Chains A and B, each alone.
Chain A
């Protein structure tokens, strides 16, 4: 595998609180999803990978370069796209102008080539027809896609996306998946999301973070496989189950080591595996 991102024992502390501890992994082209509860350290890790935040401990290598060295950091940033969790937009800009502005900052100095590139990324996220609109007139989903568009400028080799699907409707999410799948042919895409179906649809690899530590790092297939033989559909919730909830069919989905009475074993989903591996306190559905 071509290692484009390599981090070793990376930790980040805010004051006396460690948001990230001893994270180590290498990533090559493809989509990697970060999973974890709020406060698990996903955003901190993504900010470190985006060179927005230096780690307190450990070493980071991006595209074979050290982001702590200023000259190398600039080289990395030339090939990096980043969508933060909350992106504010400058007042008065149209969608096109904002992406154009970021393109200038990404050293697209030739106006014709730059405008072509801006048009390309806006088209990729389905905003061609909204290009001339003021950003304040765009919907939340459109703004999110605009944020993604700026990250795609220049076909970066590292794409860091913090909850890119937030605020997107199912159709937009499907479009996003198609875009990212295309980008990930040659680039490393690291994204965090709470939408496990997005991870299942997009990612080859998943990293589960909990309490600032990497709890799991492996393929999605293996991740889901962790829950194989532990997911049951039953007419009643199982009090011994790690998680149990009522589904749309009226049956209860139980994640449990042992079969509840009369339960049927079903294929696990990524969400089942997530709940199982989180190691959190058992989650019980409210009884009817």
Chain B
């Protein structure tokens, strides 16, 4: 019997080239998903009304717009893109590209909404016209940037990654609406609790235990801005750790035995980093709520 040698194309064996080719493909799929242009349109409309049309007095109120149209829409797109190839798994699973490579490429496709989030962030930084210095409360330029980056760009990255991670593990049809509802309810609920108990450290801990929160809140009577406790920079770190956790969890699905150990180690390391970031976000920055008013009055609460 003659054993035939397998000929391996040296170009084809470069993992980076394979990942890049797949990532380009997945990015095209992301851009062409109907929810993506819809989200861009609604985001542009929302930003136009909130940023350009009127002097903005509530930066905190603006950022629900990019969070929703990039983040929540991103959850749906990430989930659907991952889910859409499931019927062909039997063919795709016997391709030389591993499921991890496919998942990695999908995760890289999340750079598309992230880039859009970064552009939106830049536009906000350029065009945002706050009613006055008081509108940013106690946040200095660095903290403002961290807050905006967390509320716009990080959410744009994290939404799709969450959708991908969940779709890799959960197969039932109602998983997507359930995920969106649960995530939305969680964010609204804990932020509501935090608003109800502004002096409670437990409420602050709960508020920061979300993938998206706010550090400024506008009161109309009297007209004043409340700066909430916590560190926007460490909260941004916490968000990025959540993104890394989502990627690792997604990669763990169907991982070959020899790849599970490094993934478990990564998961543990990122998990620890996330806990550290979360605790630093809660204990760093302002220690209590501070009110600033248009006349320049600063009132610690």
Residues of A at the B interface (CB closer than 8 Å) are 1-4, 6, 26, 47, 50-52, 63-65, 70, 74-80, 82-84, 87-92, 98, 100-102, 104-111, 147, 150-151, 157
In the complex, which of the residues B6, B8, B32 has the most CB atoms of chain A within 10 Å of its own CB atom? B6
Residues of A within 8 A of B86 (CB): 88
Q: Contact check, A107 vs B25: say whether CB atoms are below 8 A apart.
A: no
Cα distance, A187 to B21, chains bound together (Å): 28
Minimum distance in angstroms from A185 CB to a CB of chain B: 15
10 further interface pairs, Cβ-Cβ under 8 Å (given A77-B95, A92-B29): A2-B4, A26-B1, A47-B90, A50-B94, A52-B93, A74-B98, A76-B6, A77-B96, A102-B91, A107-B13
Total interface residues on B, using CB and 8 Å? Answer: 40
- On whether A87 and B96 interact (CB within 8 A), knowing A2-B4, A64-B6, A101-B25, the answer reads no
Residues of A within 8 A of B95 (CB): 77, 102, 105-106
Q: Contact check, A109 vs B21: say whether CB atoms are below 8 A apart.
A: yes
- On whether A70 and B6 interact (CB within 8 A), knowing A50-B94, A90-B88, A105-B95, the answer reads no
Minimum distance in angstroms from A148 CB to a CB of chain B: 11
- On whether A87 and B4 interact (CB within 8 A), knowing A77-B95, A106-B96, A110-B11, the answer reads no
Q: Contact check, B91 vs A63: say whether CB atoms are below 8 A apart.
A: no
Cα distance, A84 to B88, chains bound together (Å): 9
Cα distance, A107 to B98, chains bound together (Å): 11
Closest to B11 in A: A109
Interface residues of B in 18-38 (CB under 8 A from A): 18, 20-22, 25, 29, 32-33
Q: Is B92 in the interface zone, CB < 8 Å from A?
A: yes
Minimum distance in angstroms from A94 CB to a CB of chain B: 11
- On whether A109 and B17 interact (CB within 8 A), knowing A26-B1, A65-B6, the answer reads yes
Residues of B at the A interface (CB closer than 8 Å) are 1-9, 11-14, 17-18, 20-22, 25, 29, 32-33, 84-98, 102, 256, 258
Of A77, A88, A92, A108, which one neighbours B94 at CB under 8 angstroms?
Answer: A77
In the complex, which of the residues B20, B29, B85, B95 has the most CB atoms of chain A within 10 Å of its own CB atom? B95
- On whether A90 and B94 interact (CB within 8 A), knowing A101-B25, A104-B22, the answer reads no
Cα distance, A157 to B2, chains bound together (Å): 15
Residues of A within 8 A of B258 (CB): 70
Cα distance, A118 to B94, chains bound together (Å): 18
Cα distance, A90 to B96, chains bound together (Å): 19
Residues of A within 8 A of B17 (CB): 109
Of A64, A84, A91, A151, which one neighbours B3 at CB under 8 angstroms?
Answer: A64
Closest to B17 in A: A109
Q: Contact check, B22 vs A105: say whether CB atoms are below 8 A apart.
A: yes
Q: Contact check, A107 vs B18: say whether CB atoms are below 8 A apart.
A: yes
Cα distance, A78 to B95, chains bound together (Å): 7
Of B20, B87, B94, which one neighbours A52 at CB under 8 angstroms?
Answer: B94
Of B11, B22, B87, which one neighbours A90 at CB under 8 angstroms?
Answer: B87
Q: Contact check, A82 vs B96: say whether CB atoms are below 8 A apart.
A: no
Cα distance, A91 to B32, chains bound together (Å): 12
Residues of B within 8 A of A84 (CB): 90-91
